[in-house]
Structure 1
């Protein structure tokens, strides 16, 4: 999903000031400090649990968790969360690392290897590329409807957030390489990084340590997939996702030319993002890049992605110039309530956080 404050502004603004009042600044990069801060945030916001990993100078300096991962069961650092659309940056990273191996270019026609049968009769399918998929410019809807997949806009035009675009490029990867995108993720990222708690699917004995969700006061069984999606429902801990973010931040496995491409806004959304906020909080550039939203404040780049489903809210952002970032996972759609309090407590990246606060209050 795109910048979440555009959807959640009213409720988030209502709870921010109360929650921030009890969240004391972190004075040391220690897990216990973060645990105590998160306990206060959970209490004040009513979010069932929050798990956070903080990155500074290219390393994870604190991992904290508070609240319940299931009814009567405390969440732990080993608790895995459904991170919804935070799946997309992982899928995008796999595509970029495959492109860096020379398997294809971002501007290759995906139709040469894969065409979804639903759009085979529409000549616009020939214009689809991996670049358009990663930057939400396929012209496809977020999810296909009961009658199947169909274009809602021309490829390469104005951005339109699309999970189907990510599923499309995953089919392309499998058709071209003979391996599913999740298998390529294991080869290119999860295995080399030693990420054991992150997975696209969960079956049998793998379906353990997954947070249940709480909605309207009632607990619900964990949501996970038996078949992988490139756009949704990745399972992970905050620490494993932060280790992934560190790898992304370091540019591991990505060619210099593609790293340069990721520093460029591929699909401009500055007008939408800046509407209704003070001009001094408006980034110089803003929009979708390859797998992330990109915000440029005077040459300092901030990369952000969020995820929200009925059972989860998650956020990750990182700053290449300071090699810092934060991962926030929750087991509730209402988890966005905890985001600004957490970022205030960490006390970093004030310019970026103030833009998010402005988005929340407009």
Structure 2
């Protein structure tokens, strides 16, 4: 697949960028097509947030064989779905519809764990910070199980996010996709984002590719999955990042909770040589990994499905951020080159380099 002759295609109208953004865009236009070809990545879609606003968005490569990617191309967000789900839950908390620390079994109890008394300990806070004790995904034969005491230890779990979404549905009496539209997508004008497959996806999908650059079958959700398979554009996700930076839709108290490290991950992330580039404190918050450097705090998340890699971050201090969506198992290789060309935080870049090495 030849990518070097494909330039960025902008399907959305944008104002003339300031000089710095124009220079960064020119650098991306020059370098990214070659990097995609070098690493067998079919395409990448990028959004940059500066001072709380989306200031740059572009797409490079091909969404499918012979079809150029544009900013209107839809990507599987993979686990970047989770921060959106967390934000919906936090907006419900801010409106007084649910509480962060209420037992979820009053409104939702998965039959698989009904006989385990520890279900009474499960709360939205524990679900959003990956402390439910659930596995990442339930076993196909044994169903859902609580593997460890809830609230004690961090353990990444998509099932925890699915659980809190079902709880929100049952307590509110509304389908979770309706809640998403009411509390997040419509307020942020995110018109190109959906938890489940829609007719308007047709002809717009970034087809996933394996490490050899070979196409693999895209995955879709017929009904919402609160932890995975949301489809979006980099621009739409950039609008979400801007909303998070503005604490839009959150009460001051809930916004403060979202910015707190709920569980430290220094032992997992910063041992041995990795400690050289780590911040003084790091862990997981409510929907995001939090990196607390000396002079700045960043929130980040990644996503990985078959043939998909996605990345997003925001800097609470500078109010900057970026979204990088790819349709490739090799997509992680393009993250640092893009962030370097967007002049991201030196401390953050140093941390990411350390984690990759």
Provide TM-score, normalisation by structure 2. Answer: 0.91
Asked whether 1:197 is paired with 2:178, we answer no
Give the Cα separation in 1 of the matches to 2:176 and 2:201: 19
User: 2: CA distance between counterparts of 1:53 and 1:304?
Assistant: 14
**Equivalent residue number for residue 321 of structure 1:** 317
Query: 1:74 & 1:348 partners in 2: Cα distance?
Result: 27
Matching of residue 214 in structure 1 with residue 209 in structure 2: yes
Q: Does structure 2 conserve the Cα–Cα contact (< 8 Å) formed by 1:223 and 1:311?
A: no
| 1:28 paired residue number | 20
Q: What residue number does 1:179 align with?
A: 174
**CA offsets, 1:164-189, max 9 Å, x none?**
00000010000000112221111111
Coordinate RMSD, CA, aligned: 1.6
CA distance in 2, matches of 1:203, 1:239: 19
Structure with higher helix content: 1
SS at structure 2 position matched to 1:54 = strand
Please state if 1:136 is matched with 2:135. no
Gaps of at least 5 residues in structure 2 are 1-17
Measured against aligned partners, the alpha-carbon deviations of 1:121-178 in whole angstroms (never above 9, x if no partner) come to 0000000000000000000000000210001111001100000000000100000001
Q: CA deviation at 1:192?
A: 1.8
| TM-score (norm: length of structure 1) | 0.89
Equivalences for 1:120-131 in 2 at 5 Å?
120-131=114-125
CA contact (8 A) 1:170 1:180 kept: no
Give the 3-state SS of the residue equivalent to 2:143 in structure 1. coil
Query: 1:81-112 CA distances to partner (integer Å, 9 max, x unpaired)?
Result: 00100000000000000000001210000011
1:47 aligns with 2:41: yes
Moved more, 126-135 or 172-181: 172-181
For residues 32-68 of structure 1, give each alpha carbon's deviation from its aligned partner in whole angstroms, at most 9, with x where no partner exists.
Answer: 5533332232123221111110111111111121111
SS at match of 1:233: coil
Q: CA deviation at 1:278?
A: 5.4
Structure 1 gap ranges (5+): 1-25
Partner of 1:107: 101
Q: CA 1:348/1:102 → structure 2, altered by over 3 Å: closer, same or farther? A: same
Structure scoring higher RCO (CA < 8 A, sep ≥ 6) equals 1
The answer for the alignment partner of 1:97 in structure 2 is 91
| CA deviation after TM superposition for structure 1 residue 299, in Å | 4.5
Deviation at 1:223, TM superposition (A): 2.0
Counterparts in 2 of 1:325 and 1:45: CA distance versus 1, 3 Å: same
Q: Distance in 1 between matches of 2:169 and 2:290?
A: 28
Number of equivalences: 336
Q: 2:241 aligns with which of 239, 245, 257?
A: 245
Q: Distance in 1 between matches of 2:274 and 2:173?
A: 50
Deviation at 1:221, TM superposition (A): 3.6
Matches within 5 A, 1:258-273: 258-273=254-269
Name which of 131, 140, 148 aligns with 2:143. Answer: 148
Runs of 4 or more, structure 1, over 6 Å off, are: none
For 1:176 and 1:50, locate their aligned partners in 2 and report how far apart those are by CA, in whole Å.
Answer: 39
